[in-house]
């Protein structure tokens, strides 16, 4: 059991500040940024060493926690994509798997399916088995994947049920999984689970050509900032592949780029006469779920489907009716 000390009491303050709204496990002498979203699914902050252990979970205490409570029965999944947050599987008795996801973003469908199948296989092998999931903060990326695993194991009946459970168990204010695209991916996973007969079923992500993007219901033309558009897809290993970038002072972008799989449309606005760029909004989607109008090829994304939009609480940049219109054409096989 961890021993109480003046040092531990002193470090409790910065660790609590970093934890913010997340629940901490404070039993049996432990004080860790960690919670059980299900008796068999743990979500926690990064197990840190070096300077970071002063304000994050000390790796030695996470090791002790898992050994005392789940010795030989735990498997750790690391969703950090930062090289410095990769560590040897030997740290946790060889039971570690890394599925790298960029912070505040999403995995490929292949990655999310592989994780859910691997974690489910471990849990199904023995009723005493548990999994411990972490990213850096132990909230967004790990929370998204925990929600998918709740669905995979039948611990949640729907995406809404999974997200509600996670928000209830991991944080104090129910604001756990807040990134729009990450919640969208949980819904995507729930739909795929309902559509496929076998967990590992292969599905085809169709290819489209983006022809035009248009911003509708924007601010007046006089107030429209100069924007930069960047288009990315995800490679199989989860890294970003840049397809396109363009600056414009209008609300339309002409482009003819083929897309397939997970796609990110990222918009920045210029500030200080072009000296700086600030986040405007971004949209994630997968071409498997694109359903363009049969006649016009139009797909519309509302403000509620955009990351970064929630920061504009007073609708000064993005009016309530703001939307992104995308014109696509299905590529011939």
The CA distance from 71 to 162, in Å, is: 27
The CA distance from 99 to 112, in Å, is: 9
Residues 6+ positions from 215 with CB-CB distance below 8 Å: 227, 251, 252, 322, 323, 324, 325
The CA distance from 136 to 191, in Å, is: 28
Give CA separation, 83 vs 86, 98, 166, 200, in Å: 5, 11, 27, 29
The CA distance from 288 to 192, in Å, is: 10
- Please identify which of the residues 7, 80, 116, 135 carries the catalytic annotation: 135
Residues 6+ positions from 237 with CB-CB distance below 8 Å: 100
The CA distance from 213 to 10, in Å, is: 53
The CA distance from 194 to 202, in Å, is: 14
> Residue 223 — φ and ψ, nearest 5°?
-105, 0
By DSSP bridging, strand 252-260 and strand 207-216 are antiparallel
Asked about 135 being catalytic, the answer comes back as: yes
Find where tokens 């999984």 sit.
177
Contact 106, 185 (CB under 8 A): yes
Structure tokens at 208: 């489209």
CA dihedral 210→211→217→223, nearest 10 degrees, is 100
Structure tokens at 308: 């970064």
Helix, coil or strand: residue 326: strand
Burial of 228 (0-12, 13-18, 19+ CB in 10 A): middle
Active site residues: 135
């Amino acid at each position: 059991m961890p021993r109480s000390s003046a040092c531990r009491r002193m470090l409790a303050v910065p660790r609590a500040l970093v934890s913010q709204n997340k629940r901490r496990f404070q039993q049996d002498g432990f004080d860790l940024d960690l919670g059980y979203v299900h008796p068999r699914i743990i979500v926690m902050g990064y197990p840190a060493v070096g300077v970071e252990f002063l304000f994050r979970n000390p790796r030695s205490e996470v090791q002790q926690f898992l050994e005392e409570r789940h010795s030989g029965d735990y498997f750790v999944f690391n969703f950090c994509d930062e090289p410095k947050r990769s560590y040897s599987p030997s740290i946790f008795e060889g039971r570690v798997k890394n599925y790298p996801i960029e912070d505040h973003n999403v995995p490929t469908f292949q990655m999310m399916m592989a994780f859910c199948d691997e974690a489910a296989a471990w849990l199904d092998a023995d009723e005493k088995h548990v999994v411990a999931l972490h990213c850096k903060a132990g909230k967004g990326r790990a929370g998204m994947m925990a929600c998918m695993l709740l669905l995979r194991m039948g611990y949640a009946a729907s995406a809404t049920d999974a997200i509600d459970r996670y928000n209830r168990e991991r944080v104090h204010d129910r604001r756990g999984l807040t990134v729009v695209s990450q919640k969208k991916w949980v819904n995507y996973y729930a739909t795929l689970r309902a559509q496929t007969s076998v967990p590992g079923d292969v599905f085809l992500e169709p290819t489209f050509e983006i022809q035009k993007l248009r911003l509708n219901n924007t601010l007046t033309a006089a107030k429209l900032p100069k924007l930069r558009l960047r288009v990315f897809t995800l490679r199989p290993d989860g890294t970003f592949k840049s397809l396109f970038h363009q600056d414009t002072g209008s609300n339309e972008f002409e482009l003819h780029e083929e897309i397939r799989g997970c796609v990110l449309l990222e918009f920045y606005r210029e500030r200080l006469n072009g000296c700086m760029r600030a986040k405007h909004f971004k949209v994630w989607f997968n071409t498997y779920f694109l359903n363009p109008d049969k006649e016009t090829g139009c797909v519309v994304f509302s403000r509620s489907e955009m990351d970064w939009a929630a920061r504009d609480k007073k609708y000064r940049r993005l009016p309530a009716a703001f939307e992104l219109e995308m014109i696509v054409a299905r590529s011939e096989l």
